[in-house]
Structure 1
Amino acid sequence: MVTRPRLFAGARLRRLREESGLRQADLAARLGISASYLSQLEHDDRPLTTALVDALTRAFPLDWAHESADLTQRRLAALAEASADPLFADPLDAEQLARIAEQQPALADRFVALHAAYRRAGQRLQMVDEALSLDSAGGARLPWEEVRDWFHLANNYVDVIDRAAEALAARLAGGSSTPETSAIENHLRGALSVSLLYAANRGLRDFDAEMGHLVVDPGQPPESRRFQLAHQLAALALKDDISALVEEAALRSPAARQLLFVGLCNYAAGALLMPYRRFRDAARAARHDIDRLRQEFGTSFEQTCHRLSTLQRTDARGVPFFFCRVDMAGNITKRHSATRLQFARFGGACPLWIVHEAVAIPDRILVQLAETPDGVRYVSMAKGLVKPSGSFARSPRRYAVALGCEAEHAREFIFADGLDIAAPQAATRIGVSCRICPRPDCDQRAFPPSDRAIVVDPDRRGVVPYSLA
């Protein structure tokens, strides 16, 4: 029989409480213990029990995993997350998980790896199912679909580019949170020998590589102009790293490779303007208040939301978010999820999702608690945006962005304040899209799921004119 080492973590526990702005009584209540017991734990008079480690992991899924440097504790946290998948009807309790992590570490590691592979395989299967259901020729993907899937399977985090952009930002920003526009302009002119001109009627950004001449449209909002400068800086300064990734991607067409190069330059621009560590720390401190973050980093609402969805660095993970952009017709033009929620790759999203209402109400933030068919709950924020064109002759672009996380991270997400996360009837029951949604009783269903037959009764009519077999 294996004897478990006693775990004393008073300093880590105290630091976690202080950084979270909690009093001893507050943290004790959250963990379900007395304040005097917590005081003993913080002074290393008593060790942490398995049940307390489990409570800390659930209460602080990001912070406690980061604080727990012990390999067994990290393994236990990963095992607990995998075993909590709705796939399993009865999750294992904390004592069982601890025994497995300590007594069968190789088995635990393989279980976690298999669960990750299962999720990836499910995502790939969903891609194939949706493509076949739309009768696409042989399931062939268009170039932009190849690039979209490349980012999705990379979990929307590209380590080599992110770290290179962060290092470049540190040189340009000095002690500031983010490089100033003037610093980016000076680096383009001085270090990269680029001549820069602000002029209209040349598109948003026009770069002559042979002459080293860059023209940026001044009619864009300031944060958009700054992003275009950052894009060009990344395309030149990080060209070798970006080109190597494009070569390794094994995409099928020149157009797909060119699109991936552009996408990686955009990724690098976001990482340059919102450097990983500084941005992650600021996001946690502000509880992911997007308006506060975009003011601090000089970025747009959409850019800030998108960057929040990329914070998946192994040694410093952020809250796992999903992010998407939806146009006036309901098309998803950007999408990524670090959560269990997966977006429809073809067609529209679920009509019950708050993002569709947000498109029609620009500059107003809407909040929703939603539940998917697997029983997982999500808190999401959506906002309609209008991007000016800079000219009366061109219509402004109208769309909405949405950002959300699983309900277990609600304390980290300021937009969840005021929602009753646990109330049984509080959540809107959404799906991914009608084409693959299994719910038999949805009044908003546009068409039946592709894998289910329908039953039509001429003598009965409900809200939907058929039932599912």
Structure 2
Amino acid sequence: MTRHVPTGSRIRERRLSLSVKQTDLAARAGISPSYLNLIEHNRRAIGGGLLTRLAEALDVDRAALAEDGDAALVAAVEAAGAARGIAPRALEDAGDLARRFPEWGRVIAAQAEAMAAQARTIEAMADRLSHDPTLADAMHELLSTVSVVRSTASILAQTPGIDRNWLGRFHANLDADSRRLADGAEAMVALFDRQASRGADHLLPSEAVSRFLDAHGHRFDALETNGPAAIPDLVAGIDDPAARAMAAEVLARDAEDAARLPVAAVLAATEPDDLIAAAGGDMALVLRRMGIVDPGRGLVVADASGALVRRKPVAGFALPVVGAGCPLWPVFAALGQPGRPVATTVETPDGAQWRAHAVAAPLAPQTFGGMAVMRATMLLTRVGMQGAADPVGPGCRVCPREGCAARREPSVLSGRGS
């Protein structure tokens, strides 16, 4: 019988065989030595780009490090079938297909991932169309101009014997409005071009902050070592003053969190409960720190209105760029019961399961007679199939689930929303 060797152990064996120091391998892979140590001792799941980088650094094929490669492929094929509504009994054939025809299995898995990526792109575009005030103003201007041009053209076409002077005025107005329409259309195309290139122009301050945080993976080592003193240099590259101020406020909170719960303690923890005592019982602090420090976890923070004020994406769990998320996310359940922790397993439309920990707490200390400003925090951790799970989605606009009682609006995925 083949000896079962976890991925972390394989990485460690390969590193030792090459006489590579743990610190050197961690540097090549772009992670901390302490995080690599957790991986090598099988205390952190690994996959995706990080496994690829480690394989390249160790000069070995990625498959040689992967644990249960067949099982991963089978799971991917099963998830692809489940997302398309294949009956559970038929899904039992996924394992046979993936093992007998692995190349076709990889094709199916790749297509499913491509479809998921397209869904995330559609979601981002839908959010932009729904919430970008610049685009809304431009569209309003275009439609207004079209109405004026149409009205003028209708008068000219349906009114015989118009006085020459009035005819000249109508022609002049039609010419001016047509030029305005052309200029407006050109401006809108330019706006789309700027957005497609993901430049900083015409971004809302909140979007600029989100992109700034995403570009750094939401983790700033300078905050861990230098605290608030590092903030001015970190935000200096943000051009928009409002966005720069917002980013500084976010980093100030992160620096305070880092001082209260050091990174070494966070990296040594496996579950949120491991850190509750060290955090003085502050569960929201624990979730924020685990979400920010660990690149394999996602983080969502929502205010009392349900708006997402911070999103740290994680591969496999789509988070909207702007706008609301899925109303079934546990973070919103936590808002309804402040101070009471929520821990549950959720399942995304692609069949992947996630452990979600959430809690709502006041943003600042409460006073008698004062109004509590609540924030809910949710930590997302990918887990294996654990049986029954609560179905969730990325947001109504791109969620393919049918018959969902929580749906606010139809899905833009034609024929797949209800």
State the TM-score bracket (shorter-chain normalisation): 0.5 to 0.7
Aligned residue among 311, 319, 331 for 2:307: 331
Does the alignment pair 1:367 with 2:348?
no
Give the corresponding residue for 1:403. 379
Asked whether the 8 Å contact 1:166–1:276 carries over to 2, the reply is yes
SS at match of 1:258: helix
Query: 1:275 is matched with which residue: 262, 274, 287?
Result: 262
Match for 1:261 among 248, 260, 273?
Answer: 248
- Find the aligned partners of 1:385 and 1:72 in 2 and give their Cα distance: 47
Quick check: 1:378–1:405 contact (8 Å CA) kept in 2? yes
- Distance in 1, matches of 2:43 and 2:225, equals 33
User: In 2 relative to 1, CA 13–141 (structure 1 residues): closer, same or farther, beyond 3 Å?
Assistant: closer
| CA distance in 2: counterparts of 1:274 and 1:123, whole angstroms | 34
Asked if the contact 1:273/1:299 (under 8 Å) is kept, the reply is no
SS at match of 1:295: coil
Q: Residue 311 of structure 1 aligns with which residue?
A: 293
Native 8 Å contact 1:324 1:402 kept in 2: yes
**Could you tell me how far 1:85 is from its partner in structure 2?**
5.7
Scaled by the length of structure 1, the TM-score of the pair is: 0.51
Q: Tell me the distance in 1 between the aligned counterparts of 2:120 and 2:303.
A: 24
TM-superposed CA distance for 1:254, in Å, is 1.8
- Please tell me whether residue 61 in structure 1 is matched to residue 45 in structure 2: yes
Q: Does 1:235 align with 2:235?
A: no
2:282 corresponds, among 284, 295, 300, to 300
Match of 2:60 in 1: 72
- Secondary structure of the residue aligned to 1:334 is strand
Equivalent residue number for residue 348 of structure 1: 324
* Match 1:429 to one of 391, 395, 417: 391
**What are the within-5 Å matches in structure 2 for residues 19-58 of structure 1?**
none
Q: Hey, what's the Cα distance between the residues in 1 that align with 2:65 and 2:124?
A: 30
Question: What is the TM-score normalised by the length of structure 2?
Answer: 0.56
**1:95 to 1:262, Cα distance in 2 relative to 1, 3 A:** farther
Q: How many residues align?
A: 297
Task: Answer yes or no: is the 8 Å Cα contact 1:309–1:338 preserved in 2.
Answer: no
Alignment correspondent of 2:272? 288
Q: Deviations over 1:76-108 (max 9, x none)?
A: 5579699776797779669979xx9xxxxxxxx
Q: Does 1:377 align with 2:377?
A: no
1:272-316 CA-to-partner distances (Å, cap 9, x unmatched) read 4333233211x13xx331xx414214473222211101224xxxx
Q: Report SS of the residue matched to 2:360.
A: strand
Distance apart, 1:364 and its partner CA? 2.0
CA contact 1:57–1:77 (8 Å) conserved in 2? no
- Give the distance between the partners of 1:299 and 1:95, measured in 2 at CA: 51
Query: What is residue 157 of structure 1 aligned with on the other side?
Result: 219
Contact 2:288 2:377 (C-alpha < 8 Å) held by counterparts: no
Give the aligned CA root-mean-square deviation in angstroms.
Answer: 4.8
Residue segments in structure 1 that go unaligned for 5+ positions in a row: 1-5, 17-55, 101-111, 169-233, 409-420, 455-466
Mapped to 2, the partners of 1:127 and 1:145 lie a distance apart of 12
Q: Secondary structure at the match of 2:333?
A: helix
1:75–1:446 Cα change, 3 Å = same
Quick one: distance in 2 between partners of 1:406 and 1:131?
28
Identity of aligned residues (%): 22
**CA distance 1:450–1:255, change in 2 (3 Å):** same
Whether 2:235 is the aligned partner of 1:246: answer yes
Structure 2 segments unaligned to the other structure (5+ residues)? 13-39, 82-93, 136-194, 196-201
Q: In the alignment, what sits opposite 2:128?
A: 131
Distance, in Å, in 1 between the alignment partners of 2:203 and 2:115 is 23
Deviation digits for residues 36-57 of structure 1, max 9, x if unmatched? xxxxxxxxxxxxxxxxxxxx99
1:141 partnered with 2:165: no
Distance 1:405 1:352, change over 3 A: same
Looking at structure 2, the residues matched to 373 and 448 of structure 1 have their Cα atoms a distance apart, in angstroms, of 16
Greater per-residue helix proportion: 2
Secondary structure (helix, strand or coil) at the match of 1:296 reads coil
Distance 2:133 2:117 in 1: 22
User: Retained in 2: the 8 A contact 1:358–1:364?
Assistant: yes
Task: Please state how far the C-alpha of 1:378 moved relative to its aligned partner.
Answer: 1.2
In 2: Cα distance, 1:268 partner to 1:121 partner: 36
CA distance in 1, matches of 2:415, 2:405: 18
Residues 339 and 405, structure 1, Cα contact 8 Å, conserved in 2: no
Does structure 2 retain, via aligned residues, the 8 Å contact 1:354–1:366? yes
Shift in Å at residue 401 of structure 1?
2.0
Distance 1:277 1:121, change over 3 A: farther
**Contact 1:339–1:406 (8 Å) recurs in 2:** no
Supply the AA of the counterpart residue of 2:272.
H
- In structure 1, how many angstroms separate the alpha carbons of the residues matched to 2:411 and 2:359? 29
Q: Which of structures 1 and 2 has the bigger CA Rg?
A: 2
Query: Is residue 299–residue 312 contact of structure 2 (8 Å, CA) maintained in 1?
Result: yes
